[in-house]
Amino acid sequence: MKGMRYVDFIDTGYKPGKNDLVCTFYLEAKNFRRAAGAVAAESSIGTWDPNLKTMRPGIRKLGAKVFHLKRNLIKISYPEELFERGNISQILSSIAGNIFGMKELDSLKLLDVEIPRRMVKSFPGPGFGVKGIRNLLHVRKRPLLGTIIKPKLGLREKQHARVAYHAWRGGLDIVKDDENLTDMRFNRFEKRVDETLKMRNRAEEETGEKKIYMPNITAPLSEMKRRADYVMDKGGEYVMIDIITTGFSALQEMRDYLNGRCVIHAHRAMHAAFTRNPKHGIDMKVVALFARLAGVDQLHTGTVLGKMEGEKEEVLSTNEKLLSDLYGLKKVLPVASGGLHPGMVPALVRILGQDLVIQAGGGVHGHPSGTEAGARAMRQALDAFMEGADLRDYSREHPELEEALKRWGVCEA
């Protein structure tokens, strides 16, 4: 029985079944039709030489099918038998494995993935999700406000904790480590957690509000488990993981290990290495989908505004992957972070909605009057929006906001 040529994987009359996994790709190639078949072949049962002596009856039905080809877009349907349920690494190795390096194509980007219900049900999803996070913080409607300790590296443990305290006192809900702060010689993980949670407790007593600290536990898996245990033993309720550099296998293991005992904040450090190019790589909403399946509760998705790349349509579609109904999985809270300041808050909420974490680093700590004033300015900007007030008018009676607007201006987007 002969193997299958690349063109044999094209069937424009095929209609995906309810248990098929469907991928949408952007494709550029000199021979578009052959390259489309090559993508389907190499991501399912095929190979470059169709004259296989190892083909057996029944194997052909496992082949992926290109059922749509139009204007550089192709859609491929995969039978569920090709995938191991509950195994993100295996699924991604199939649909996003060798295909990006094939000479048959010039550019290829995985734009979207539709996963069937039975496969979704093999994943736990978030332990807390949007509702659980809001219940934990006792914040029902407005966006959550946070900051990242800056400078990214260099502060000692007590200095770090003091900065966090002033951010909380100023009105922020959340303080988090940055993506590259773990266990440094000048800032040891355990001592940082101890000192910062002490300041969290003090800030809660003084403000009467729930406050959250997100320590970065990113490390080899066994050490991540140990660090998570340490955080929870000290009264922490959140951990942060750099999910791309850590890997989906470790992320799935951590979700199972934590089992709803602790909120997982997902940082996407390194994502732009394969999401940024509009013609090649993997779209951020695909990352978001698999992060949700794996069980993160919050995920950085972009700001539209600020210093990081990410067009409005891209960010909105990524957030939709986190907040849409997905066969009963809890919803993931999007996080906007990168180059934000108080003058951007109203525009940001208008664009992205209220199920959102707004994080400002330099836009808090760079305030002319310091961190606490910067935090107050962020909270005042959000209060102004929630009350339907004009930001500039509101600032006349709120000096911290007024000072922030003088420094950074107002975003009119």
Catalytic residue annotation: 150, 267
- The owner of tokens 């989908």 is 289
* Main-chain dihedrals φ then ψ at residue 166, nearest 5 degrees: -70, -35
Residue 104: strand, helix, or coil:
coil
User: Do residues 239 and 246 touch, judged by C-beta distance below 8 A?
Assistant: no
User: Rounded to whole angstroms, how far apart are CA atoms 251 and 312?
Assistant: 28
Alpha helix (H) ranges present in 264-370?
Answer: 272-275, 284-294, 312-323, 345-352, 362-365
DSSP 211-278: -EEE-B--SSHHHHHHHHHHHHHTT--EEEEEHHHH-HHHHHHHHHHHTTSSEEEEE-TTTHHHHSST
Contacts for 392 with CB less than 8 Å, ≥ 6 apart: 405, 410
Closest CA to 17 of 94, 82, 78, 58: 78
User: Rounded to whole angstroms, how far apart are CA atoms 46 and 62?
Assistant: 10
Give the end-to-end CA distance of the chain in Å, rounded to a whole number: 61
Give the tokens for residue 219.
């490390």
Name the burial class of residue 209, with classes exposed (0-12), middle (13-18) and buried (19+) by CB atoms within 10 angstroms of its CB. Answer: middle
